[in-house]
């Protein structure tokens, strides 16, 4: 995990770890931030269990979920996890509502996605509700392509993917 911190002009992305637990628990309990995520808002116990999974995932795979820090303040999360539906590595991002609308999700998700693909992982997917225009705009703007759709809980879900682009001579 050392050396996996990523920086942009305004953001720091660092692999999520136990010092982020309080911020992550608040984010995952916020309906506006996490309500449309797979599984919805989380209890404290669920957030702690996911933190343990995320820390272990980083140790196993060398990729995972990042905390997004702007001006020394936790504003959200992005990165990849193993999707429970068997679709593979899935990109996720969520911000506190007060941090939304300034391009942070796009900036952070793009950097995280490029990091993951640069490790040699060939394919990353993302799933967004059809009516979640903001997430769909982020996914399109970071080079993810619409691949498929399915129904879940009465909602049309759109599946996006981005593959590592092979270089040919």
pLDDT at 77: 97
- Cβ-proximal residues to 160 (8 Å cutoff; 6+ apart), any chain: 125, 126, 127, 128, 139, 140, 144, 145, 146, 147
In this structure, of 6-15, 19-28, 30-39, the range with the lowest mean pLDDT score is 30-39
What is the per-residue pLDDT for 38?
78
**pLDDT at residue 121 above 50?**
yes
pLDDT band at 169 (very low <50, low <70, confident <90, very high): low
pLDDT at 46: 95
Tell the residue number behind the tokens 């995520």, with chain if given: 37
- Contact call for residues 28 and 50 (beta carbons, < 8 A): yes
Q: Check residue 1 and give its pLDDT.
A: 45
> Of residues 109 and 32, which shows the higher confidence score?
109
Share of the chain above pLDDT 70, in %: 96
Vertex 8: Cα angle to 135 and 64 (nearest 5): 60
CB 18 within 8 A of CB 77: no
Q: Whole-model pTM?
A: 0.92
DSSP 136: H
């Amino acid at each position: 995990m050392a050396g996996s911190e990523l920086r942009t002009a305004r953001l720091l992305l660092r692999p999520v770890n136990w010092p982020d637990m309080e911020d992550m628990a608040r984010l995952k309990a916020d309906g506006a931030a996490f309500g449309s995520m797979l599984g919805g808002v989380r209890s404290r116990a669920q957030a702690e269990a996911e933190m343990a999974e995320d820390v272990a995932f980083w140790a196993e795979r060398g990729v995972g979920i990042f905390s997004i820090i702007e001006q020394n303040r936790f504003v959200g999360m992005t990165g990849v996890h193993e999707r429970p539906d068997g679709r593979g590595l899935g990109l996720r991002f969520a911000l506190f509502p007060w941090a939304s609308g300034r391009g942070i999700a796009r900036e952070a998700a793009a950097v995280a996605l490029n990091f993951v693909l640069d490790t040699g992982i060939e394919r990353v997917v993302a799933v967004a509700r059809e009516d979640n225009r903001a997430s769909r705009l982020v996914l399109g703007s970071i080079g993810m392509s619409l691949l498929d759709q399915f129904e879940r809980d009465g909602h049309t879900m759109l599946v996006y993917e981005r593959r590592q682009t092979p270089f040919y001579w």
